[in-house]
Structure formats: structure tokens, C-alpha cells
Amino acid sequence: MTATSAADGVELVLSSREGMERVAMACAAAFAKLAGLPAARIEDLKTAVAESASNAVAHGNRDRQNARVRVSFRLRYGAVEAAVTDEGDGIDREVPEFDIEQIVEGKQAPGGIGLFLMRRLADILSFERLEGGGHTVRIIVKGC
Amino acid sequence: MPQDKIEISVEILEKTAVLYLRGDLTFAAEPRLTEAYARAHGEGVRCVLFSFKENAYIDSGGIAALLQVLVKVRERGQKAALANVSAHNRKMLNMVGVTRLADIYDTPERALADIDNWK
């Protein structure tokens, strides 16, 4: 794991291992606190980043031990922008939208909850396949 | 990396089982959660209360594991409640719709007082 800071942010390079999402989450909390985000929004950012980092390890990097997950944070117009990049190709299949009614009726196993939460906790969520390989999820959480 | 493994103890109070969850609720908790509920169900309970550690870490995998158990509770005609849930965790659980399957209380005492009224 390495960390670097730039004039307006910080970047972590994490090994692709289960549990590393907690490191990303702790960094998100510290950065968002410095940025002055309210407590509730810090929690939203922490969860969105942790879920994205978990997905990066499990699905993006497919648990490859030598792969890396890059997580960066920067301030943009009073909001915190996090970017989580893995070495995969992005979502190559349609992820079924989580639907509690389908779960309650026993028609669907609980899945897709991480993505569901990310979409609702972040103010802006975007996905980008990178030229040359890799995939980035951008999460923006505003202060108010 | 070592995670905070969940420990679950089960207390039977008449027809209510209280499952005390101590540790992280992630998908790794699923076997212990399932086993604890199976133990409670074996005691013939009508209500199951899941009491969390204050500010417990809950992720999407943990919510999925919890939902699987809550669906079983519902299928068996039992009632479920959650207690000691932090504000953020309650927000996530509300978003996901866990309240379709369980009521959420501030404290186990309030949950148990309400459960008494269900009977």
C-alpha cells in the first residue's frame, strides 16, 4: 500500500485483498472531515467508497493478488470526489437492480445491494472504462 | 487481512430470541447468523430480535446475509426486529427496505417492550 498527496488531494494504491476497503474507507473519512463535510455525508462517502473498493477487489480485479486498486480523493467545488480504479474491464453483464419486493417474495436472492447503496448515497456516480485497460468509479458527495 | 469476526450469542426470553451481534456484519457473518437463527427457531420462538453493537460496521454483504435470515423469519410466520442500529446503518437499512421485514428500534429494551404488545 502506498499513499501520495497532491496539492488538492490524496491517492492510495492498495493491494487487491479483502479488507482493503476499510483502508479506503478510513482515508475517505479523514479527507472528508478535513474538507468540512457534515458527519452524515462523511458516512455516506465512507460507505460508497468501501462498496466500490470491495467491488474493485472482488469483481474488477477478480481477487487477483498482484492487481491493485487505486483510490483518490480530491476537493471539487466544495464536494469530495473519490475515484476508485481497478484493473478490470468494468461491468460486463447487466447487474439486476436490487428489488426488496422480489426478495420478500423469494423470487430473487439478495444481490446488487452495494451498487444500489452507492447510487443512493452518492450525489453523482459514474463509471468509466479506461483506454489501455482498467475501470474507474467516480463518487461525488456534496457537503449539503 | 484479519477482520473483526462476528460473535453471536442467543438469549431466549419466553417466546422471543435475542441475537446479540458483536462484530462486523459482512457476508462472512452469514454462516454464524444462519446458525444462530436456526438455534433460536429450534426453541420455538415467535419473535427474533437482532441487537447490534453500537456503531457496528455493516456492509452490503452483511445486509444480504441479514435479509436471507429475515426472509426465513417471515416465511415461518415469525416477527423480526432490529435494535441498537446507528443512524447511518438505519439509513442504509431503510433505503434497502429491510423495514418490510423487520421493525427497527433505538434500544433492545424498547424493542422488547413492543414485542410484548405483539403477543
Mind listing the pLDDT tens digit for each residue in A66-104? 999 999 999 988 899 999 999 987 766 667 789 999 999
The answer on pLDDT for B3 being more than 60 is no
Among A18, A101, A103, select the one facing B67 at the smallest CB separation: A103
Lowest mean pLDDT among A6-15, A128-137, B26-35, B53-62: A6-15
Residue B92 sits at the chain A interface (C-beta within 8 Å): yes
What pLDDT does residue A5 have? 63
Beta strands in A1-144 (DSSP E): 2-6, 9-15, 68-76, 79-86, 124-129, 135-141
Among B57, B64, B91, select the one facing A113 at the smallest CB separation: B64
- The amino acid present at B113, given as its one-letter code, is A
Q: Answer yes or no: are the C-beta atoms of A95 and A48 closer than 8 Å.
A: no
pTM: 0.92
The answer on pLDDT for B119 being more than 60 is no
In 3-state terms, what secondary structure has residue A30? helix
Interchain proximity B100–A100, CB inside 8 Å: yes
Interchain proximity B68–A50, CB inside 8 Å: no
In this prediction, the answer to ipTM > 0.90 reads: yes
> Can you give the C-alpha Rg of chain A in angstroms?
15
- Strand-pairing partners, residue A84, are A71, A137
The mean predicted confidence, pLDDT, of chain B is 93
- Strand-pairing partners, residue A10, are A5, A73
Q: For residues A141 and A47, what is the distance between their CA atoms, to the nearest angstrom? A: 11
What pLDDT does residue A110 have? 87
Residue to substitute from B3, B60, B73, interface A, most A β-carbons within 10 A: B60
Minimal C-alpha gap between A36 and chain B (Å): 18
What pLDDT does residue A78 have? 87
What pLDDT does residue A93 have? 62
The answer on pLDDT for A7 being more than 70 is no
Lowest mean pLDDT among A66-75, A107-116, B78-87, B92-101: A107-116
Q: Answer yes or no: are the C-beta atoms of B3 and A19 closer than 8 Å.
A: yes
**Residues on chain A bordering chain B, Cβ-to-Cβ distance under 8 angstroms:** 17-22, 40, 43-44, 47, 50-51, 54, 98, 100-101, 103-104, 106, 109-111, 113-114, 116-117, 120-121
The answer on pLDDT for B100 being more than 80 is yes
Helix axes B60-75, B30-42, angle to 10 degrees: 20
What pLDDT does residue A109 have? 85
Residue B88 sits at the chain A interface (C-beta within 8 Å): yes
What pLDDT does residue B2 have? 52
